[in-house]
Amino acid sequence: MRLIALAVTVSALAMAGACGATGQDAPAARSGASLETRPANNPSQQPATGDQTRAPAVRTEAALTHTVVASGLQNPWGLALLPDGRWLVTEKPGRLRIVTADGRVSEPVAGLPAVSARGQGGLLDVIVGPTFAQDRLIYWSYAEPREGGNATSVARARLSDDGTRLENVQVIFRALPVYDGDKHFGSSLAFAPDGKLFITLGERSDRPMRPQAQDLASHMGKTIRINADGSVPSDNPYVGRQGALPEIWSLGHRNVQGIAITPTGDVWTIEHGTRGGDELNLDRAGVNYGWPIIAYGVEYAGGAINEGVTAREGLEQPVYYWDPVIAPGGMAYYDGAMFPGWRGNLLVAGLKEKRISRLVLQNNRVVGEEYLLTDLGERVRDVAVGPDGAVWAITDEANGKLVRLSAQ
């Protein structure tokens, strides 16, 4: 193993102003000033409900510190905890490493298939299988080079006993169609309590591909649900429907890079908007989340997105959206011991705004928001919760870092 020197940065985090609510004790009715004060990219748009955007600020009363545990990672993308307390970390160019809690970074794990590492493509998410204790299976998503272009794929393999290589690699899902592009691959992974594997996908961004988010004959812009071996669950919503791909769980997504599944099985996903319109969705079977027919925000070049419509009958509204955007990465559901007031909250990695957003949920609505890790000053790509309840994050930088956020 190569050892990257342990870089330690400990600082009290600058906290946003409070509205009287802390943790998940926020009132059901909103009160207090919004945490977001910047003007919206599309100020003429109105949310469908009063609690859909610009939540009141909440504040953690306890002092927080962060420690940079490891550095020298090249654009890390995915983060997953092994049962022994070490972390699996993917690097977008196509390397998987194991990082110990004290900052030792392994040589690349051998045995990964080739990745299409251009643009937003590369080695993406990684998760530990629910039966790892018996079979040592891990799962990862990646942009796979294919004839005529590339697309998102998911593979699994046995992590060798010494952690140096992957054995018996199997590709268990290949998104279709193949497209020669470099954007919007998605892709986050999560196992539900019943052992089903969820995969989030993008619609590949380019205008000719956007309509495929609404096409049930395409995987693009969909959330996928499969069994751990890649087979299709018989209770998926489009099984047996002519012209529909049976792996599809939901449709109408733009570029979903974060997913968190609660202990009760609720599926939360988060996706990138354009200029405005980053979305948090409660992702349910057979539901159409609207892209590109409805959306908040404006095009990157300015102007309306398609018809400029934000709502239409039969299309689901986001639970919450950001305008301006935060450029969300990964997401975690907090159920740890270190911050009891955070239990039931969502932690959302922010790339553009270089922070973590803590979302306080009540009755599946966002009733408060707090910015965390604001003084690190780096693009936060993914976030996870450690065994003791500390929050861990990776930063999407050429000199990427593994960071631990804890009570002081």
Rounded distance between C-alpha atoms, residue 253 and residue 259, angstroms: 13
Asked if residues 313 and 240 have their Cβ atoms less than 8 Å apart, the reply is: no
The alpha carbon of residue 358 and the mean position of all alpha carbons in its chain are separated, in whole angstroms, by 14
Write phi, then psi, for 157 (nearest 5 degrees).
Answer: -165, 165
- Concerning whether 184 is annotated as a catalytic residue, the answer is yes
Q: Given the residues 66, 184, 219, 253, select the one marked as catalytic.
A: 184
H or E element: which one contains 134? helix 132-135
H or E element: which one contains 132? helix 132-135
Instruction: Report how far apart the first and last C-alpha atoms of the chain are (Å, whole number).
Output: 31
Asked if residues 359 and 348 have their Cβ atoms less than 8 Å apart, the reply is: yes
Cβ atoms within 10 Å of 154's Cβ, excluding its own: 25
Q: Is cis: bond before 233, omega within 30 of 0?
A: no
Cross-strand pairs, 170: 156
- List, by residue number, the catalytic residues: 184
